[in-house]
Structure 1
Amino acid sequence: MRLLVNIDHIATLRNARGEGYPDPIEGARVCEDAGAAGIVFHLRGDRRHIRDEDVHRLKKSVKGVLDFEMAASEEMIRICREVKPDLCTLVPEGREELTTEGGLNMRHVYDDFKNRAFPAFRDTGIEISLFLDPNQEDIELAAELGADAVELHTGTFANAPDAASGKSELRRLHDAAKLIHKHGMMVNAGHGLNLANLPELIENVPHLHDISIGHALVSKALFWGLDRTVKEYVGLMKGGI
């Protein structure tokens, strides 16, 4: 199980004043030095946090896994092919949303992914992950496409209004992870995770490979520092907390 740190909101803070700092590339270096296995970034169409120049600098500086989170637009596919990250995670993207609000609707995107998006990555060496809710049909369609990984959307669990709802969503995530693993795809997870709810996810969901955490980690780092915060997450994932 590996921690990948999403550095989008280091860029958000930089962009608030346009001063050039804090530098998300420096943040990525601190995260890797503290034990993160890699870095996640989401280059959005409106460039609200990560910018094109950040992407190319990250490619040069990140030593571990580089996960390019993106909509499957022609523009993003072109940039991803140029940058050649280790992994691209295809996500739904809405201009008005504050953050990615749910998984891909595979029935809606299947034909486009099969005929356009997936062939565009053929022979690039870039692995493809799909950001999905824990739905059997979506996972089955991801397997048919030949996805390398599925990143399970954990936001419904993380934001559950009560314990019973949280337990119910954990059961869905558990069953989804088993199905993903059965199909030979990596089981990744992300969205809404933090130091308080991550232990329950780890305890109940099998086969977890990469866990992507961004907003909660960067927010905690304002008080603890980035180095300590990453080490706390890494320690938790290794059973140290």
Structure 2
Amino acid sequence: MNPLVAPEAFARGGRTALSVNLNRVALLRNSRPLDLPRITDAVDWVMTAGADGITVHPRPDERHIRAGDVQAIAGHLRTHWPRAEFNVEGNPHHNLMPFVRALRPAQCTFVPDAVEQATSDHGWALPQASAALAPLVAEARSLGVRVSLFMDPEPAAMRLARELGADRIELYTEAYARAHGTPRQAEVLARYAEAAQAAIAAGLGVNAGHDLNLDNLGDFLRAVPGVEEVSIGHALAVDALQLGYAEAVRRYQRAIQTAFAPRDTATP
């Protein structure tokens, strides 16, 4: 069995798991040649505060998370947090697959980033990308690694993702974040809900991430069915500047719990 996958890791009574992306911690560390803050210390901060897992997205230019960080986090989780999930994101056509082969994390998320891209800004186009992705999905799954595909909220594409062999999809949520608090919020949320329903009907698990924050997370989880995991990095790091990492993690977990509480007892 994969040592970084606990069978009960997501047996949380339907509650969405919180995976904290540590890219911004690495970006701060890289600004000075001091190895501060240490990336494994950041793992301990967020896991002690109640995070369910860790996400990293190493890019080929190592502008934030470096190859050594990925290896260090995997070893640290294995030794100190064996029930935590480790999710490694990236483009499988660039630098992701060596990490999958060497470390066999609990989950890998295939993201169609270009090498020079500042941040993820679109999901996979299927079926155009299917032929190139299929053998890599099969390889990762043969290693015992759950495969999630980063996807736009296109309901018709969910069946194609499942036909590729993916276990989950991660809904790219920037469009929702931009619409939150505007007259388009309900319309955009309905599209995400429809995509999630299509994914579930196809036999896929549903993750979500990108620009989710304390203001918009609860509304998203109440409207979109079956979200098993959210990956949050930039917004949580911004909140941590004021609150500290531990309190920021606790507030995100509280937002998740409140989203699933009965509406007449939920606290604002």
Normalising by the smaller structure, the TM-score range is: over 0.9
CA distance in 2, matches of 1:154, 1:205: 11
C-alpha contact 1:77 1:120 (8 A) present in aligned 2: no
TM-score for the superposition, normalised by structure 2: 0.86
Structure 1 counterpart of 2:227, from 208, 211, 214: 208
* Partner Cα distance (1:15, 1:226) in 2: 19
Any unmatched runs of 5+ in structure 2?
1-15, 259-266
Hey, what does 1:235 align to over in structure 2? 254
Residue 138 of structure 2 is aligned to residue 119 of structure 1: yes
Runs (5+) with no aligned partner, structure 1:
none
Match of 1:70 in 2: 90
Deviation track 1:11-49 (CA, whole Å, cap 9, x = no partner) reads 011111232111222111111111110000001111111
Task: Give the one of 45, 68, 71 matched to 1:30.
Answer: 45
Q: Any idea what SS the aligned residue of 2:129 has?
A: helix
1:143 maps to 2:162:
yes
1:190 aligns to what? Answer: 209
SS at match of 1:231: helix
1:84 aligns with 2:104: yes
Report the count of equivalent residues: 240
Give the C-alpha shift of residue 99 in structure 1: 0.9
Q: More displaced, 163-172 or 203-212?
A: 163-172
What's the CA shift for 1:161?
Answer: 7.7
Name 1:20's counterpart in structure 2: 35
DSSP-derived class of the 1:100 partner: coil
- Displacement after TM superposition at 1:218 (Å): 0.7
Q: Provide the TM-score with structure 1 as the length reference.
A: 0.95
Superposition misfits of 4+ residues, deviation over 6 angstroms: none
The letter for the 1-side match of 2:195 is: A
What residue is the counterpart of 2:152 in the other structure?
A: 133
Q: 1:151 to 1:51 in 2, by over 3 A?
A: same
Asked if 1:6 corresponds to 2:6, the answer is no
Counterpart residue identity of residue 112, structure 2: P
- Equivalent residue number for residue 241 of structure 2: 222
Aligned CA distance change for structure 1 residues 220 and 144 (closer, same or farther; 3 Å):
same
Q: Greater helix percent: which structure? A: 1
RMSD: 1.5
